[in-house]
Amino acid sequence: MVKFIGVLQFFAASLLPNLQSHQELNPNVSCEIMDLAIEGVWQFEVFGAQSLYQEGLLFIEKENERYTVDLKFDNGILSGYDVQVHDNQLNFNANISGVERISFVLLFEDGKLEGESYSINNTSQVKGIRKVPVD
């Protein structure tokens, strides 16, 4: 058993320099992995929002190097705009009733999302879980 653990430690130590040099050659590797963590369908809840907008589904897709975001509620779908992704953070805006802008700042990690939404009237906590991963 001790020899097996020693072999694993040696194997892991020998891979580490190769991974670091690969990342230096291609610094986008970690960013690509994070992108995949964001894409998909997410079930979310907005605490303190109007009852129509408290629960919904968040659809995130990447098309031609651009992200699209749609929010589905019981009363319809809102499309996000000004979508920005930085590592595991997603920022975007959506309009309620066509005029009231809501801004979202969301962090994604381990199949969960957390963040806040901001409107002219209040700030609300947002939490959710992944429903459908990207194939």
Q: How many Å apart are CA 16 and CA 26, to the nearest integer?
A: 15
CATH no. for residue 61? 2.40.128.120
Q: What is the pLDDT of residue 36?
A: 57
90 assigned to some structural domain: yes
122 assigned to some structural domain: yes
Instruction: Evaluate if residue 129 carries a pLDDT over 70.
Output: yes
Percent of the chain past pLDDT 70, that is, above it, reads: 72
Q: What is the pLDDT of residue 97?
A: 83
Contact predicate 45/128, CB 8 Å:
yes
Structural domain of residue 46, as residue ranges?
Answer: 33-133
Crossing angle of helices 29-38 and 2-25, rounded to 10°: 100
128 assigned to some structural domain: yes
Please state the pTM of the whole predicted model: 0.72
pLDDT (tens digit per residue) in 34-89: 445 799 999 999 999 989 999 999 999 999 999 999 999 999 999 999 999 999 99
Instruction: Evaluate if residue 26 carries a pLDDT over 50.
Output: no
